[in-house]
Structure 1
Amino acid sequence: MTTLFRGIIYMFAFGCLFMVTSINSLSLPIFAYGEDEILIGLSECPIGYFHCLNDTKCILQKLNCDGQVDCDDNSDEMNCEDEHNSQYYDDLHRKQPHGLFDNTPKGRCFWKQENYSCDCRGTQFLCRFKQLTELPLNLPLFDISMLDLTGNSFPVLTRSTLRNLPQVEMLVLKFCNISEIQPFAFESIRDAQLLELYLDENNIERLPPNMFPANNELEVLILSGNKISELHSYDFENLEYLTELDLRRNRISTFSEDVFKPLANLSILHLNENQIQKIEPGMFPPMNLLETLSLAQNEIWTVDKDSFNFINLRHLYLSGNRLYEVHNDTFQGVPRLEGLNLDDNKIYHFELEAFRGVENLTSLLLKGNRFETLDPRVLQNLQNLKYIYFSSFHLCRAALHVRVCEPKGDGISSKHHLLDNTVLRGSVWVMASIAVAGNLIVIFGRYFHNSRSHVEHSLYLRHLAISDLLMGIYLTIIACADIAFRGEYIMHEAAWRASISCSICGFLSTLSCQSSTLLLTLVTYDRLISVIRPLQVRTASKTVVILRLAFLWGCSFAAAAAPLTAAPYFGAHFYGSNGVCLSLHIHDPYARGWEYSAAMYIFINMISLVFIIISYLRMLQAIRGSGEAMRSTLRGRENVVARRFAIIVATDCACWLPVIIVKLVALGGIKISPSLYAWLAVLVLPVNSALNPVLYTLTTASFKQQVKKYFHKFPCGAIVEPRSQTGYESALSISLGHAPTNSGRKRLLQKNVSYV
């Protein structure tokens, strides 16, 4: 036994040393500062480090704006709000007009109270959802800031509809079922001195000529949520004072520069959620005062050079389109651009001068695209860039000069460590050691002390140990890779995830998970038959058992090897989607091959778990039913059996149930915490592989008996004769031996329970 343990330790240490040596050959580090995260006394910070404001201390990029103070002057946690992002969400979720006086109770009016049919609040007149077909009578002529007619019915707006409009700064005609606007319909807004007009969420398909009178002072025009498909040169005539135009959620596919030419003072233009497919020269006129342009959630697949000519544009939103590539000088016409959203496109390539001409850029969103690597030269001219956002933290390698780069990690890995959490690193070594050592003991122990009366059972458990050993080997490789990359993981990350080593890791983890699941199901079925049919003669030969095992391993091997074929369905590096090379894909639940991942970790595991729970309940029921005919001294064993069955079921649930639930939640669109994903992938998933040797062998009476026999040979050993056993059977389960032909059910179950 001592020789066996010594051999295991030597094998484990040699394997880890070999893995560290081989993994280190993946790529050479560009720089490395070991474990240091704060460098003191440097006049110039190395690349990837940033000066504190009032001293010479240098801190890592990831320590900026991480919620913890690292600089003595707190400068690392200053200026952490991305104003461009805040502006984007303010524009996206603008407050409704009727909410401007939320703190003022209805009925309290800032003018002389009269008997009006509508509510008032402050300087607002609220005639919302009153089933009106014309303006309400007896409106106050002055001192009204807003007239809200939301939810009424004005199918056709004519010149007479708004003839009696009082002087009002804001007119809201939202959800008014407007389908047609006739010429001169808003002629009265000039005398009313209207500044803001809301026509959103109606059925407007086109705008008429002469819609607005000359010399009006309209500043805000909201036409979102309509059915406008075509824009004309006369649509916005006489709107020279307009500063904001909202055309989002319409059906606009194209337009010419004549459309927006009258809007000399336009500052904000929303064209998001339309059907625009291409941006090319001639679509926009030079608009010197335009500061915000939103083209998000369209169908834009290309942006031609010189399409934009806005010298004062500060925010440009191109999120949620179909851009495949960003060409050189695409944004050269917007020299003062500060924020650019290119997230949620299909970009796979950037030309080296893609961002030439936008040196003032401070915020850049690139997450949700297809590119997996990025040449640092693409971003090298963006020296004022303060915030950059990727889908994967490893892309921050191309932006080491940017103060804040998100994400800082994926919950498992960070820019510096494959396993970023210290406790996680220790847990991996513990789980790997238990899985490797425990399963090797089971394999050799069952090989040298095989039970003649329980050949099938012993063979099943030996193969289960082999399956769980693969998980231990997988964890060992990951733990060794973490040591090899410590402090400089981002420099090796791309090579590691694309390496054969990572693919082998993914293959081993999937093969272990699936084969272990199927083997546990097979073992449970075999036990179930033995308990509920104790008098049935077991006629299965060793050949039949081997064929069953061969089929099971063949299915598991095929499932684990399928992603290695590099088929288009799986992509080039299916297992390399994360640093620990798992196909669980919680972080990106709908990545390529997501159906395969869902089938492996939800469908198969769910069926096996339900079958195991039902089977053990059925076995316990059978034992208790037969226990009524037993002697009272044996009935107490039922509680022991129940507890041990509960342990087996609980460990299976602890391993599989969290994985199933979290996977389902992720597929449901709910974001999973990266830290939860880390513990799930590295600690919860391998639980069965570490505990199966303990549950099925190391705590059994037969194993204890063999250990006692071994130590009995030594002079100081305990001279205790173990009670007789009929086979190498698990103490946590019912014996799977053949039912003797000369015994009854009562006697057989008495013997079975006695093993527990």
Structure 2
Amino acid sequence: LSISGNRIRRLGARAFFSVQSTLRILWLSNNMISVVHPDSFQGLISLQHLDLSNNCITSLENGFLNELHDLSSLFLNGNNILKLRNKDLLCLHSDLKLLSLKNVTLQEKALNAILKHMSSLTGLTVSRQNNVTIFDQYFERHDCLLKNVSYTRSGLTAVPNFIKKCSVLVSLDLTNNKILIIFKQDFMQLSNLTMLKLQANDLMEIESGSFNNLKQLETLDISGNTQVVYDNNLLSEQKKLKRVYGNNFRICCLARKTSPSLLQCSPEDPISSCDRLIAKDYIRALIWIQAFIAIIGNAMVAVLRAREYPKQESRGGKVNTSFVGVLSVADLLMGIYLLMIAVVDSVHQVEFFAFSHIWRHSGFCRFCGFLSLFSAEASVFTLLVITFTRMVSIVSPIYYLRANLRIFRIAMLLAWTVALIISVIPVFRLPNFFSQTSLCLPAFYTSKRDSDWIFSLFVIIFNLVAFFAMVTSYLVIIIATQRSQTRSENRRSSNPRPKHNLGRRVFLIVATDFCCWIPVCILGFVSIGSGGLNFYNDVYPWTAVILLPINSSMNPLIYTFLT
């Protein structure tokens, strides 16, 4: 029977008399219960599970649980039980199996009294209790019969000593603490443990051999510990693992290597496998193809523009030629990034997972990430300068013709400086920004749990503003052209055909950039707002291999066929 969340303030006598003989489970959580009549549960002789969590109960002194002789599980989470005296324990039967006291304020004597009174207790859940010494002192004098322990959100900095001695322990939950190191002796005596949860601690190290005696382990969760490094022999003795959760796919490779019974493991890497940096052949082929097109195509464009520049006599011709050459250099950098990733994949073709952590946190991976981000940002800001220049040449042709060439060079230099600053910041200030995947790409699909989400949001918004500025500029160009097309054509250039071609080229480049970046920006917003993408593994390969770098390989083709 569940009557949770109904704002019940008090329970009268024999409140459940009509179902007293058959009721086994009763949920009364999330009400406002502060008064419980001593006979409220009279007659519930079959009740086994009672949940009174998140109410306003301050004591158990009226003995309202006296007749619940079959009660095995009692949940008092989120109540304000300030005092629990020995006489209050008369209502908590000594054969109670599970007692949950999450977010309950208890005095030290109360905890000690619970342990002494309930000798059959096999499951205990506590949180926000820093008095771990009470448990340590008690179990120094008594055998630990606990089979299920949940000690969460308590600020623990190490595994408590009493847990190390609970040899019959089957389930252990130490989530949301501040444990820095798991030592080899911490779980040495826990040979019966089947479930271990260590997620969301501040783990920096798991000593080699720490899990060697956990041969019955079936579920392991060490996710939410971004700094921990998985030793190659971390799971060498775990033959019965069925569910494993970590922070990167390397732990899945370690688990599959020793446990054929593994049913579920996360996170899976969207790009890499245990053997290769790039798991799928078609993705590998796309990277090689785009790398060669981007490098060869943009190099040709840059060389041709460099040769054309001295031949240009008009101011507009020099500006346009130099800007197109600068854009090709930005796109060329993306081709170099793709080539470096493809080469690393070719070099490491066996058991890549053993090398993956070193690779992701290497200076070379960080440089690859910097190169990809710098190329993308430089390309966007170069297009922004080109678009503004075209708008000025049409809207204010007199100013455009009189302006010093140095102004355009300074504008382009400023654009590249901004791109450089944005790309350098994560290299020195956000060490994990490029290490979340094996491709070393920027962490645009992040969540608020990650420390770099603010920077990711800033980059996404900055690029959106740049693209909307370009769109606005083209709208201004279109309106100005429609109002005075004849005058605009006369003022554009003495040779209007190339200028017209340039306009078509730049518009198409901006359009393709816009179509590629907008999905990335939208997915970035969704990821940050919702705490991550549920379809991340399906989306990431396409955005990483196609959407982000495709402009660098398409732009040379646009120049070639529209010239």
For the aligned pair, the TM-score class normalised by the smaller chain equals 0.7 to 0.9
- Mapping of residues 358-507 of structure 1, within 5 Å: 358-396=214-252, 398-399=254-255, 400-403=257-260, 404=262, 406-407=265-266, 409-450=268-309, 451-453=312-314, 454-507=317-370
Counterpart position of 1:605: 463
Confirm or deny: 8 A CA contact 1:337 1:361 kept in the other structure.
yes
Counterpart position of 1:667: 528
Counterpart position of 1:729: none
Counterpart position of 1:245: 99
| Percent identity over paired residues | 26
Structure-2 separation of matches of 1:630 and 1:214: 94
Is the alpha carbon distance of 1:229 and 1:337 closer, same or farther for their aligned partners in structure 2, counting shifts above 3 Å? Answer: farther
Question: Which of 456, 474, 488 is 1:616 aligned to?
Answer: 474
Confirm or deny: 8 A CA contact 1:570 1:593 kept in the other structure.
yes
Is the alpha carbon distance of 1:629 and 1:193 closer, same or farther for their aligned partners in structure 2, counting shifts above 3 Å? Answer: closer
Note the C-alpha offset of 1:214: 7.1
In the alignment, structure 1 residue 562 sits paired with structure 2 residue 425: yes
Secondary structure of 1:301's counterpart equals coil
Counterpart position of 2:173: 317
Note the C-alpha offset of 1:330: 2.2
Note the C-alpha offset of 1:604: 1.8
Note the C-alpha offset of 1:381: 4.1
Note the C-alpha offset of 1:410: 1.6
Which structure has the highest helix share of the two? 2
Confirm or deny: 8 A CA contact 1:418 1:482 kept in the other structure.
yes
Structure-2 separation of matches of 1:520 and 1:266: 69
Note the C-alpha offset of 1:676: 0.9
Cα deviation code 1:421-459 (max 9, x no counterpart): 221111111211221111111111111123322111111
Question: Which of 256, 259, 263 is 2:111 aligned to?
Answer: 256
Note the C-alpha offset of 1:338: 0.9
TM-score by length of 1: 0.64
Note the C-alpha offset of 1:642: 9.9
Secondary structure of 2:161's counterpart equals coil
Secondary structure of 1:442's counterpart equals helix
Note the C-alpha offset of 1:589: 6.2
Secondary structure of 1:269's counterpart equals strand
Structure-1 separation of matches of 2:488 and 2:307: 35
Counterpart position of 1:29: none
Cα deviation code 1:64-102 (max 9, x no counterpart): xxxxxxxxxxxxxxxxxxxxxxxxxxxxxxxxx34xxxx
In the alignment, structure 1 residue 161 sits paired with structure 2 residue 13: yes
- One-letter amino acid of the structure 2 residue matched with residue 609 of structure 1: F
TM-score by length of 2: 0.84
Secondary structure of 1:457's counterpart equals helix
Secondary structure of 1:340's counterpart equals strand
Counterpart position of 1:720: none
- One-letter amino acid of the structure 1 residue matched with residue 456 of structure 2: S
Cα deviation code 1:627-647 (max 9, x no counterpart): 48999xxxxxxx999987763
- Mapping of residues 99-138 of structure 1, within 5 Å: none
Question: Which of 162, 171, 185 is 1:329 aligned to?
Answer: 185
Structure-1 separation of matches of 2:327 and 2:278: 28
Structure-2 separation of matches of 1:175 and 1:675: 39
Superposed structure 1 runs of 4+ greater than 6 Å apart: 628-631, 639-646
Question: Which of 69, 82, 95 is 1:216 aligned to?
Answer: 69
Note the C-alpha offset of 1:240: 2.9
Confirm or deny: 8 A CA contact 2:382 2:416 kept in the other structure.
no
- One-letter amino acid of the structure 1 residue matched with residue 214 of structure 2: V
Counterpart position of 2:484: 626
Note the C-alpha offset of 1:611: 0.7
Secondary structure of 1:261's counterpart equals helix
In the alignment, structure 1 segments of 5+ residues that lack a partner are 1-96, 99-147, 632-638, 702-756
Confirm or deny: 8 A CA contact 1:174 1:200 kept in the other structure.
yes
Cα deviation code 1:29-69 (max 9, x no counterpart): xxxxxxxxxxxxxxxxxxxxxxxxxxxxxxxxxxxxxxxxx
Deviates more, 1:421-430 or 1:580-589: 580-589
In the alignment, structure 1 residue 202 sits paired with structure 2 residue 55: yes
Structure-1 separation of matches of 2:331 and 2:44: 82
- One-letter amino acid of the structure 1 residue matched with residue 305 of structure 2: R
Is the alpha carbon distance of 1:466 and 1:203 closer, same or farther for their aligned partners in structure 2, counting shifts above 3 Å? Answer: same
Note the C-alpha offset of 1:268: 3.9
Is the alpha carbon distance of 1:452 and 1:277 closer, same or farther for their aligned partners in structure 2, counting shifts above 3 Å? Answer: farther
Note the C-alpha offset of 1:228: 3.2
Counterpart position of 1:27: none
Is the alpha carbon distance of 1:349 and 1:641 closer, same or farther for their aligned partners in structure 2, counting shifts above 3 Å? Answer: closer
In the alignment, structure 2 segments of 5+ residues that lack a partner are 490-499
Structure-2 separation of matches of 1:630 and 1:313: 83
Structure-2 separation of matches of 1:641 and 1:525: 14
Is the alpha carbon distance of 1:278 and 1:578 closer, same or farther for their aligned partners in structure 2, counting shifts above 3 Å? Answer: farther
Is the alpha carbon distance of 1:463 and 1:258 closer, same or farther for their aligned partners in structure 2, counting shifts above 3 Å? Answer: same
Pair member with larger Rg: 1
Is the alpha carbon distance of 1:423 and 1:594 closer, same or farther for their aligned partners in structure 2, counting shifts above 3 Å? Answer: same
Confirm or deny: 8 A CA contact 1:306 1:333 kept in the other structure.
no
